[in-house]
């Protein structure tokens, strides 16, 4: 670990109640690298999802709150997750779950948060305390599916560094949805339409500027070679707003978008969506040694590119926030060849971040024996794995 590396964030205890497949779980973690293996359906991804929900956002699956409670004959149960964390400044506890009030109102969508047992108004208040980045098998389809998935991926990268970005995205999408509805109703309320287009322009340009800033910072880290043996990569934004921000002041870009939205109301009404705006952005990831876009790379190469991005993003968070984030890597070794697995394990050993890795085959993680703490996932429980004795230096 570099001598000047920022301190890491450590999850030392996790408690779950009626979360997904876990009726009740309380387990401690002492390792800086934690390996969880088990059969499909044993609850490995559920465990990582619970950890991801201890910070801002809807977690690594993006699930609705009503989907997270353990299933019962009458429907999903209220659920709770709590974690004890340690960093350079001490120990703190974070809890989240559905509230009794929400349950009594018949809603499973309401969610509450607590920091050291003090209620919080929103998860945004946790942003300065905890951060996590993740890689899941679902992200393997990122380069074969539509642009919306890549935009969500990009926005998650942004708001891990700039929590206010989530509010800008939500405000933009809310204004756009209202404008689409008015146009579908053939509304003649031009003042309302103009106000919504103004909101789209302001928030849309702010969203584009944040995405552009993230891409520049991430590419600088990728170019510096912090990802070790993983392929050199570059992230490109395919976004007219971002291109315009490279040439003109933000206010000028806002005014052009506002004018375009007003001029294209008839066309947008016929199409059912705005032809211009931040929602039209896309991203491309390049394998630089091969000069190939990710969608033309092999599955293993795509996984390696995503690992490179996640490691670079973790380094960015550590620099910007003053602590290394948690790394949640679900089935990350499955499509990596042996040299790339070794490169990943070496990178994780060198990082100050605490990493949680899952997989079905314990043999893939054998090189981590002596470095990682191991568990076997079985339905509803975690059992210490004797193949991974806790390192003395953990």
- Structural domain contains residue 59: no
Q: Which domain holds residue 190?
A: 147-297
252-310 pLDDT, tens digit per residue, is 999 999 999 999 999 999 999 999 999 999 999 999 999 999 999 998 899 999 999 99
**Is 42 marked as a binding-site residue?**
yes
* 38 marked ligand binding residue: yes
45 is in an annotated binding site: yes
Residue 170 covered by a domain: yes
Residue 10 is assigned to a structural domain of this protein: no
Indicate the number of domains in the chain.
1
Let me know if residue 254 belongs to a domain: yes
pTM: 0.88
- Per-residue burial over 46-74, b if 16 or more Cβ lie within 10 Å, else e, is bbbbbbbbbbbbebbbeeebeebbbeeee
Which pLDDT tens digit goes with each residue over 345-374? 998 988 889 999 999 999 999 999 989 999
Q: Is residue 306 part of a domain?
A: no
DSSP-assigned beta bridge partners for residue 10: 86
CATH label of the domain that carries residue 180:
1.20.1050.90
What residue spans of 80-125 are helical by DSSP H?
100-104
For residue 303, say whether it is annotated as part of any ligand binding site. Answer: no
Q: What is the secondary structure of 117-129 as a DSSP string?
A: TEEES-GGGGTTT
The answer as to whether 253 is a domain residue is yes
Asked whether residue 345 is domain-assigned, the answer is: no
Q: Find out whether 39 is annotated in a ligand binding site.
A: yes
Is 37 a domain residue?
A: no
Paired sense of beta strands 326-330 and 132-135, if any: parallel
pLDDT tens per residue, range 99-138: 654 444 444 468 889 999 999 887 777 887 888 999 999 8
For residue 180, say whether it is annotated as part of any ligand binding site.
no
């Amino acid at each position: 670990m570099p001598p000047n590396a920022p301190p890491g964030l450590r999850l030392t205890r996790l408690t779950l109640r009626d979360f997904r497949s876990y009726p009740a779980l309380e387990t401690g973690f002492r390792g800086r690298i934690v390996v969880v293996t088990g059969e499909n359906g044993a609850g490995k991804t559920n465990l990582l999802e619970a950890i991801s929900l201890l910070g801002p956002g809807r977690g690594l699956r993006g699930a609705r709150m009503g989907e997270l409670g353990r299933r019962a004959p009458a429907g999903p149960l209220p659920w709770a997750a709590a974690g004890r964390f340690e960093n350079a400044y001490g120990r703190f506890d974070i809890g989240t779950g559905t509230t009794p009030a929400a349950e009594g109102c018949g809603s499973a969508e309401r969610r509450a948060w607590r920091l050291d047992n003090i209620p919080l108004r929103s998860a945004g208040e946790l942003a300065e305390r905890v951060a996590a980045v993740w890689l899941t098998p679902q992200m393997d389809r990122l380069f074969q599916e539509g642009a919306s998935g890549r935009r969500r991926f990009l926005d998650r990268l942004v708001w891990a560094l700039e929590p206010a970005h989530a509010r800008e995205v939500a405000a933009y999408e809310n204004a756009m949805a209202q404008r689409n509805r008015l146009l579908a109703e053939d509304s003649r309320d031009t003042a309302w339409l103009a106000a919504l287009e103004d909101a789209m322009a302001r928030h849309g340009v702010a969203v584009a500027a944040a995405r552009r800033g993230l891409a520049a910072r991430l590419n600088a880290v990728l170019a510096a070679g912090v990802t070790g043996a993983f392929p050199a990569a570059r992230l490109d934004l395919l976004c007219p707003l971002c291109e315009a921000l490279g040439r003109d002041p933000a206010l000028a870009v806002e005014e052009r978008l506002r004018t375009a939205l007003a001029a294209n109301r008839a066309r947008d009404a016929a199409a059912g969506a705005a032809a211009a705006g931040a929602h039209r952005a896309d991203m491309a990831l390049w394998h630089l040694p091969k000069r190939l876009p990710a969608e033309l790379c092999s599955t293993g190469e795509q996984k390696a590119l995503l690992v490179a991005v996640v490691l670079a993003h973790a380094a960015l968070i550590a620099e910007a926030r003053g602590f290394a984030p948690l790394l949640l890597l679900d089935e990350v070794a499955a499509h990596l060849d042996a040299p790339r697995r070794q490169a990943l394990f070496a990178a994780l050993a060198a990082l100050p971040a605490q990493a949680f890795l899952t997989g079905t085959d314990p043999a893939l993680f054998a090189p981590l024996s002596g470095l990682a703490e191991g568990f076997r996932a079985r339905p509803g429980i975690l059992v210490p794995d004797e193949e991974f004795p806790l390192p003395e230096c953990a």
